[in-house]
Chain A
Amino acid sequence: MTKSHIELTINGKKVEALVEPRTLLIHFLREQQNLTGAHIGCDTGHCGACTVDMDDMSVKSCMTFAVQAHGTEITTIEGVAHADGTLSALQEGFRMMHGLQCGFCTPGMILRAHRLLQENPTPTEDEIRHGISGNLCRCTGYVNIVKSIQYAAAKINGTPFQEAAE
């Protein structure tokens, strides 16, 4: 089968590659670009651990072919921190609010929450829970994840942080 030439931007860097059409975006990122932050959880499109940001959409990269990402701009967890290496508001939120235990779902959670806060900078707890309903966490029970996102929203907006009710 013919390989396809793709050009895209990943974490601000232009990338060109030849890919087999059947190569999934998650495999392209992890194996050809050595960006192993996005995880393969269920491999069936349910868990959201592979979520990356593609042209202002949260996308499950295990359900997307790399060829479909031609011409797009992608952000992975490796591109989320500030240029000087300090943590983004969301990363800081997950750290401060203990928004992770094993950490496997965290890159997907943070990328999804990143897009949610771009679209809705002041989400209610309910909107956060609906917003991350495509991401599964098997450790935390979500309470601290919701708090982490609220922490980040407050930090970005410069407003006082109010914890979700337990």
Chain B
Amino acid sequence: MIPGTFDYHRPATIEDAVALLSRLGEDANILAGGHSLIPLMKTRLASPDHLVDLSGIGNLKGIKVEGDTLIIGAMTTQFELIASEALERHVPIIAETSRLIADPQIRYKGTFGGNLANGDPGNDMPALMLCLGATYSVTGPEGSRQIAARDFYQGAYFTSLEHGEILTSVSIPIPAAGHGYAYEKLKRKVGDYATAAAAVVITMADGKCTSASIGLTNVSDTPLLASGAAAALVGTSLDRTSVDAAVLAAEVITSPASDMRGPAAYRTKMAGVMVRRALERAQSRAKG
């Protein structure tokens, strides 16, 4: 399968990339890791006239801690997320999620920003960013702006990103030390998108849940923040009744498609099962 013809650009700075995208207009696409875009180009579902490759822009990569915030450059690869000691220490759920994305080869090339920005409801990182309350920094012809992850996803492949804007970095508030966490993903095989998946972060004190946040992957057109489910847990000891209520609250907000991963009703139930399993594992990891 051979993609259509295009011109290739590899700018060295964010400013150059933004200028190129403005000048080339809607016929230009951003190329990050390429593992979502290139398959679409090979099947001619996408045929951009121009590709603007961000891999030459050094300051789009990297992971740093600033106070109680973690900042991850958009072109940081999944492999780099998994290898990061700072992430392992402060927000280990990110690497846990990365390890469940695609396969080793694709994780060397696939980027954090690409996973967040292309709006594919099957991507795993967006629901995790909802769960963690992340903020995206984007730069366009009008300058830079911040968008909360929770406001970013509008529909399948439809986000708040305007044409010509580039996702440059993501700020993540570091969860409290001793927090419990888990990302649970049901998939048919290595490399598959989730049938359903859940990201859970909780804090516990004296046997009671003091805060909870839950994100759901691939059970709607967008990633979902299960606020009702989280609210059902705070103040409880995560007893059976409270967890049952949270699972139900998570299930009711899903609206999955019936597809080769299963009928909608099954995928809704699996979203509930993933929430239950993630909660169990998060509780076992939480201190307090």
A residues lining the B interface (CB < 8 Å): 1-2, 4, 20-22, 24, 27, 43-46, 48, 51, 57-60, 63-65, 67-68, 70, 112, 116, 130-134
Cα distance A65–B1 in the bound complex, in angstroms: 13
B residues lining the A interface (CB < 8 Å): 1-8, 10, 31, 34-35, 38-39, 41-42, 51, 53, 55, 79, 102-106, 108-109, 190-191
Whether A68 pairs with B34 at a CB distance below 8 angstroms is: yes
Whether A68 pairs with B104 at a CB distance below 8 angstroms is: no
Whether A68 pairs with B108 at a CB distance below 8 angstroms is: no
Task: Return the contact of A22 from the options B5, B103, B106, B191 (Cβ within 8 A).
Answer: B5
Whether B34 pairs with A57 at a CB distance below 8 angstroms is: no
Residue of A nearest to B108 (CB): A57
Whether A48 pairs with B105 at a CB distance below 8 angstroms is: yes
Whether A58 pairs with B105 at a CB distance below 8 angstroms is: yes
Cα distance A21–B51 in the bound complex, in angstroms: 9
Cα distance A57–B6 in the bound complex, in angstroms: 26
Cα distance A71–B66 in the bound complex, in angstroms: 33
Whether A134 pairs with B39 at a CB distance below 8 angstroms is: no
Contacts of A1 in B (CB 8 A): 5-7
Contacts known (A4-B8, A44-B39); A134 close to B109, Cβ less than 8 A: no
Residue of B nearest to A71 (CB): B56
Cα distance A51–B105 in the bound complex, in angstroms: 8
Whether B105 pairs with A22 at a CB distance below 8 angstroms is: no
Whether A67 pairs with B8 at a CB distance below 8 angstroms is: yes
Whether A63 pairs with B104 at a CB distance below 8 angstroms is: no
Cα distance A64–B38 in the bound complex, in angstroms: 8
- Closest chain-A Cβ to B120's Cβ sits at a distance in Å of 15
Cα distance A43–B35 in the bound complex, in angstroms: 12
Residue of A nearest to B102 (CB): A134
Contacts of B109 in A (CB 8 A): 57, 59, 63-64
Cα distance A20–B7 in the bound complex, in angstroms: 9
Contacts of B108 in A (CB 8 A): 57-59
Contacts of A116 in B (CB 8 A): 104
